[in-house]
């Protein structure tokens, strides 16, 4: 079961990251070109990125509690006994990605309050962009390729 969830978390990360990048680029291009925020393309792309990131977070939280390099590593070695690679997986990666998903969620919630397209695009571009940067900063790159 652990291997299946780990594979799901790994492969879903590629999809979620790709859609998040596309959503940020779409929001920036919509903001710069002063395009009208459409329900068909812009809303669905932003919503799809939000949903995929939340699913990825849930799979990651499940993995965190069943993985030997997650919560059990902290219980076994304590916070002071973790190497930098173990600390990345057990502490930094989960914590920063929770902050990233919170930022993306704030961007989604804020955009719904606005009527003007430029404010919607700005909210999504800023908060989804912050989330993207946070996610990219804590990906365990040595395990990705």
Per-residue pLDDT tens digits for 61-75 = 999 898 887 777 777
Between 55 and 142, the more confident residue is 55
The DSSP output letter for 68 is T
Can you give the C-alpha Rg of the chain in angstroms?
17
Instruction: Report residue 112 as tokens.
Output: 């719904």
Q: Which of 100, 3, 115, 117 is nearest to 49 (CA)?
A: 100
Domain ranges of the chain: 1-143
Q: Report the distance separating Cα 67 and Cα 86, nearest Å.
A: 12
Mean pLDDT on 96-117: 93
pLDDT number for residue 145 = 64
Helices 2-32 and 117-137: crossing angle, nearest 10°? 140
Cα dist from 114 to 51, 90, 111, whole Å: 21, 38, 6
- Please check whether residue 45 is in contact with residue 22, taking contact to mean a CB–CB distance below 8 angstroms: yes
Q: Say what the pTM is.
A: 0.89
- Please check whether residue 17 is in contact with residue 135, taking contact to mean a CB–CB distance below 8 angstroms: yes
């Amino acid at each position: 079961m652990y291997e299946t969830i780990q594979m799901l978390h790994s492969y879903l990360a590629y999809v979620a990251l790709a859609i998040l990048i596309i959503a940020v680029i779409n929001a920036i291009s919509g903001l710069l070109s002063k395009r009208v925020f459409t329900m068909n393309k812009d809303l669905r792309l932003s919503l799809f990125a939000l949903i995929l990131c939340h699913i990825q977070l849930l799979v990651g939280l499940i993995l965190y509690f069943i993985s030997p390099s997650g919560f059990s590593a902290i219980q076994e070695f304590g916070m002071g006994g973790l190497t930098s690679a173990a600390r990345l997986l057990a502490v930094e990666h989960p914590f920063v990605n929770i902050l990233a998903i919170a930022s993306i969620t704030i961007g989604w919630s804020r955009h719904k309050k606005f009527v003007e397209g430029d404010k919607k695009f700005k909210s999504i571009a800023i908060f989804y962009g912050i989330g993207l940067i946070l996610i990219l900063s804590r990906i365990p790159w040595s395990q990705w390729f």
